[in-house]
Structure 1
Amino acid sequence: MLCGLNMMSHDIRESRRASDADRLDLMFYLPDLSGGGAERLTIDLCHELQAQGHIAELTVDSRKGENSDIVSPSVRLHELLPGDRPARRVIESGFAIGSMGAMIESCLASRKPVFTWQRVAALAAHLKARRPAILVAALGYAPFIAYWANQIAGHICKVVVVEHNTSSKAFLAEGLPIRKLIRLSQIKALSRRIYPALDGVVAVSNGVAEDVSEFAYINRRSVQTIYNPIPFDRVTRLATEAPGHEWLQDDAAGPVIVSAGRLVAQKNYPLLLRSLAKLNARPGRQMPVKLLVLGDGPLKQDLMGLCRDLGIESEVDFLGWRANPYALMSRADVFCLSSDREGLGNVLIEALACGVAVVATDCPSGPREILADGLYGRLVPPRDVDALVAALVEALDFPESTTEDRIARAAQFSVPTIAAQYIEYLSQFMPQENRICAERKPEA
């Protein structure tokens, strides 16, 4: 079945190869190439768009990061800030009329005004030199930088933002310091001024779309939902490799749960650890359930301490980041996501691609959409230990959907499939004169 799905992805790519008239001219803009899922999927999209005959340049402030090595030579990677005095180049080439407000706002709205201005100036200079049709920005301050830079460059291109997070939920997070709350308030004010002026906004889930429309005061109908892709072919291929962990190589080790993600408060690993302790304390359980945690982060030592306090040290292994987490996922009995909030939750799609049974908190906003209201995995209320324990017991003992069903669901999020949705959406922003020129045949 996996072979057939992989061939289908190849057929989709070939059947959708762009003609000259339909070719998109895109510049994707990210802060850097760190190891997050959003960075990786943007790189995957660039690869796919290039393979289909479109222009998809990847522009970053810094090319540093764990994902820098996976950018193919077929994709042009441009680093903005290697120390090339971008501000001077913008000044020499001339400001756009009316851009002074953008320059002032970009400096006043940042904790690091000099660095922010450098980013804005560098991107503006590159836009004037490169002149793409569409600038697609995502993550952190990148949407604001993109908007300001395009103003300073003279509105050279259309600006589209991809929103990956439920920003308003950050205001509801417990224990945020006053300084961060003030910062979030500033970001909200900026969003409400800038987002209505953008040419397009993409949200990675319907939940994120609802959130950004409320957070930024924009019409919900103007926000396009396009789910994040996963490299389906690569995931399913890597899933067949040896897991390299003794708990997954010996059935005598007992049932194994896998979880993956940054070790941060948003992921609520304490909920999963407390649920594991309660699960293994249930009467009649002959063999303890083990937990493998893939990922790293600032809370690692705290979580290891909680394992000691709960008496489950020998049943939990923190593995850090793995180049191939899919070999572990595919051999596990259950994959569990215990987050308080997600933008989409790409790791759930990857788990489905590995064929493993899934249990997830029904947090805003992605899990319910990915699992189709629970059709492809169990959903439980966030922060509910008893509900999570019950769902894990059911998933271990009575898996609902079949492995084939889960893999087929994940295939709906393949890179070629999602790239086609981006192409359809972004095509509306291409200048009409580009199409006319492309359609003209050279004179004999």
Structure 2
Amino acid sequence: MSKITIVLHDLRGGGAEKMMVRLANQMVEDGDYVDMVLITGGGQNKAYLDSRVRLTELDCARTLSAFIPLRKALKDIKPDAILAALTHINVITSIACFSLGWIKRLSVSERNAFSLDKQVNSDPVMKLTYFIAPFVYRLIPRPVIAVSKGVANDLISTTIVRPKDLVTAPNPVITKETIDAAKQAPKHEWLLDKTEKVIVAVGRLAYQKGFDMLLDAMFEINKTLSCRLIIFGEGELRAELQQQIDTLGLTQKVSMPGYTENPIAEMKAADLYVLSSRFEGSPNAIVEAISVGTPVVAFDCPHGAREILKDGEIGALVENQNAKMLEAAIQEGLSQNKLSPTEPILTVEQFTSENSAARYRELILS
């Protein structure tokens, strides 16, 4: 049994937060002692954290002000291994570990396309963090854990990080809980009483997710094929996307019901899952959709979709940000049948929580 601490900003409804909760839960299930330290606190995913994971919420207003509280929390816990996730958390945790003389205990994780993610963060402090991070990654003894080969290659090609500074580990997407959750009925009325084909998309309502392009494709598709789209998620572009829906006359064809506690049940009931992101790290929702046999159409965005879909072998890959090609692929995808009941999870077996936790444990404790 090992004592492992995971450091995050909070437990909001994002993919990174969800994956770290699932990783912590699997590790504690496997017998490790797991602490989770949040720089701020709260978030939708807090409810899913196993009660055996000890949670510490520092309630710091900003990451910059977290150094002393974080250092104290780590010193009190005295972990065998520390795992930080997301660029700004990686940097502040590295500084805290340097000050404690514990840098050999630290592993950091990059969850997104570094070169693209930094472009959409306009905050001056975040810009400085993205500038500093590659130098930190060169200095720390343990390699950075990237969620996909694409994320690793992006860091190598756009920063001073070297190939020897990086390793990869799959996300813990499929768990006992997600398998049970998939057996539940969907809650959206369009999926409960399906009168026409329904497409599902899941993600933060933000520029990165490309829902504006998906809405343009829906407008064209509905000229010849009547179908509906449900986008599950919340974010800063809600009003802008709703305006686009209204302008395109898609009010009866597109629904944005907000965050859902059980996206995998909604995906299972859908006829097609679509990933319209401009960039990603390792899009977990694709794995979830495949695991329940729902056909997938995805932009070949940097990064992760091509790896998960095995170069298009188990899902349609579309030229990145080409809305016309997305439109055609969706129309073709809506004509596909579900995968056979035994095939889906075997196809994405590397993303089970057991396999993911074993890989992370190997990397952070070796």
- Whether these two folds match at TM > 0.5 is yes
- Which amino acid is 1:229 matched to? P
Contact 1:120 1:145 in 2 (8 A): yes
Q: Share of identical aligned residues, percent?
A: 32
- Deviation per CA, 1:400-443: give whole Å up to 9, x if none: 85554333223331101111111222232xxxxxxxxxxxxxxx
The one of 205, 228, 233 aligned to 2:148: 205
The one of 45, 69, 73 aligned to 2:23: 45
Residues 362/61 of structure 1: CA separation in 2 closer, same or farther (3 Å cut): same
Higher helix share: 1
Query: Hey, what's the Cα distance between the residues in 2 that align with 1:154 and 1:65?
Result: 31
Confirm or deny that 1:131 pairs with 2:78: yes
The one of 236, 259, 269 aligned to 2:211: 269
Confirm or deny that 1:289 pairs with 2:231: no
Match of 2:307 in 1: 369
Unaligned runs of 5+ in 2: none
Contact 1:376 1:405 in 2 (8 A): no
The one of 130, 142, 163 aligned to 1:220: 163
Q: TM-score scaled to structure 1, two decimals?
A: 0.77
- Which amino acid is 2:6 matched to? F
CA drift at 1:207: 0.6
Query: Hey, what's the Cα distance between the residues in 2 that align with 1:305 and 1:189?
Result: 36
Match of 1:259 in 2: 201
- Which amino acid is 1:222 matched to? D
Query: Hey, what's the Cα distance between the residues in 2 that align with 1:398 and 1:46?
Result: 37
Q: Secondary structure at the match of 1:224?
A: strand
Match of 2:48 in 1: 70
Contact 2:170 2:350 in 1 (8 A): no
Q: Secondary structure at the match of 1:136?
A: strand
Confirm or deny that 1:247 pairs with 2:190: yes
Residues 206/188 of structure 1: CA separation in 2 closer, same or farther (3 Å cut): same
The one of 219, 233, 237 aligned to 2:176: 233
Confirm or deny that 1:144 pairs with 2:91: yes
Query: Hey, what's the Cα distance between the residues in 2 that align with 1:244 and 1:197?
Result: 49
Confirm or deny that 1:32 pairs with 2:10: yes
Unaligned runs of 5+ in 1: 1-22, 83-111, 429-444
Residues 310/226 of structure 1: CA separation in 2 closer, same or farther (3 Å cut): same
Contact 2:293 2:339 in 1 (8 A): no
Q: Secondary structure at the match of 1:236?
A: helix
Q: Secondary structure at the match of 1:397?
A: coil
Match of 1:6 in 2: none
Count of residues paired in the alignment: 365
CA drift at 1:383: 1.6
CA drift at 1:275: 0.7
Match of 1:12 in 2: none
Q: How does 1:110-189 map to 2 (within 5 A)?
A: 115-116=62-63, 118-155=65-102, 157-170=104-117, 180=123, 185-189=127-131
Query: Hey, what's the Cα distance between the residues in 1 that align with 2:361 and 2:232?
Result: 33
CA drift at 1:117: 5.3
Query: Hey, what's the Cα distance between the residues in 2 that align with 1:156 and 1:331?
Result: 47
Residues 266/81 of structure 1: CA separation in 2 closer, same or farther (3 Å cut): closer
- Deviation per CA, 1:279-305: give whole Å up to 9, x if none: 1113xx4xx111111111111121121
Query: Hey, what's the Cα distance between the residues in 1 that align with 2:65 and 2:257?
Result: 38
The one of 318, 322, 329 aligned to 1:380: 318
Q: Secondary structure at the match of 1:191?
A: helix
Q: Secondary structure at the match of 2:221?
A: helix
Query: Hey, what's the Cα distance between the residues in 2 that align with 1:303 and 1:398?
Result: 28
- Deviation per CA, 1:140-160: give whole Å up to 9, x if none: 421111111112223375211
Contact 1:131 1:157 in 2 (8 A): no
Contact 1:235 1:353 in 2 (8 A): no
Q: TM-score scaled to structure 2, two decimals?
A: 0.93
Contact 1:188 1:216 in 2 (8 A): no
Match of 2:356 in 1: 418
Select the structure of larger CA radius of gyration: 1
Query: Hey, what's the Cα distance between the residues in 2 that align with 1:44 and 1:321?
Result: 18
Confirm or deny that 1:194 pairs with 2:136: yes
Query: Hey, what's the Cα distance between the residues in 1 that align with 2:58 and 2:189?
Result: 45
- Deviation per CA, 1:364-389: give whole Å up to 9, x if none: 00111111111111010122122111
Q: Which moved more, 1:328-337 or 1:49-58?
A: 49-58
Q: Secondary structure at the match of 1:383?
A: coil
Match of 1:329 in 2: 267
